[in-house]
Amino acid sequence: MRRAIFSAALLFASASAHAVPITPAAFGPSALVEGFEGLVLGPNVGASPFSNILEPGDVSAYTFASGVTLTAPVPNPGTMSNGAFVHDFSLPMGATNGWGANGSVSSAANVPFGTAYMGAFDNLGAGSVSMRFDFGGPMLRVGGYVTGAAATTVTLDVYGSGGTLLESRTLNTVAVGSWSTNFAGIERAEGIAYVVFRGTDFGLDGLTFEPLVVPEPSVAALLAAGLAALARRRRA
């Protein structure tokens, strides 16, 4: 699913010295955006106690329309058991999501883009909850719009192909009305294989990712390589 990418202000609570934080404006035309709309109850999408909340990945990893795959928590333990959920206001009215002083998500008007977002909350007192998303190939840039319960933070961890943690970015949560300006993004030239968003009670919208494109050899470089190979054969 491809959408417009909006400018945003970065509000970082902490930073790694080697991180390359980015705004949405850094993404190129090949970037994709997952907005979490269009989910329907099915073999790998479970029901929650609320009619407008669905639970993807209740059997196995779940791939969204954009191609990004939710790989944890899988199997999804459920909304009330620290699982990930999609809250979509295009479905019959059910739950609202209260984040204290930051406000409530009670209609599509409270969602940054579209009608749906992905969320999770620590209902079991574990200390934090998380969602992991894997990509079909290495990504150059990844980010998303986040907020959640007042006086908490949301962290984006990006990992390389070998499972090595490359960087982390932690943002303060903001009022629901400012959600569309709270973007956590990181660029890594070596390629991002998967990301983890974590917090205690948070939502994610507009998950944005741009593939890492390996430059093709220039015509001049190919010609030079061909001439060198020809010269070696002649000497032989």
pLDDT digits (tens, 9 = 90+) for 185-227: 999 999 999 999 999 999 999 999 999 996 655 544 545 555 5
The domain segmentation of the chain, as residue ranges, is 12-235
CATH of domain 12-235: 2.60.120
CA 133 to CA 109: how far, in whole Å? 26
Cβ atoms of 102 and 173 within 8 Å: the answer is: yes
CB burial of residue 85 (10 Å; 0-12, 13-18, 19+): buried
> Tell me, what's the pLDDT at 21?
80
CA 32 to CA 149: how far, in whole Å? 27
Q: Which residues, 6 or more positions from 226, have their beta carbon under 8 angstroms from its beta carbon?
A: none
pLDDT digits (tens, 9 = 90+) for 71-118: 999 999 999 999 999 999 999 999 999 999 999 999 999 999 999 999
> Tell me, what's the pLDDT at 205?
98
Q: Which residues, 6 or more positions from 59, have their beta carbon under 8 angstroms from its beta carbon?
A: 43, 44, 75
Q: Peptide bond before 75: cis, by omega within 30 degrees of 0?
A: yes
> Tell me, what's the pLDDT at 163?
96
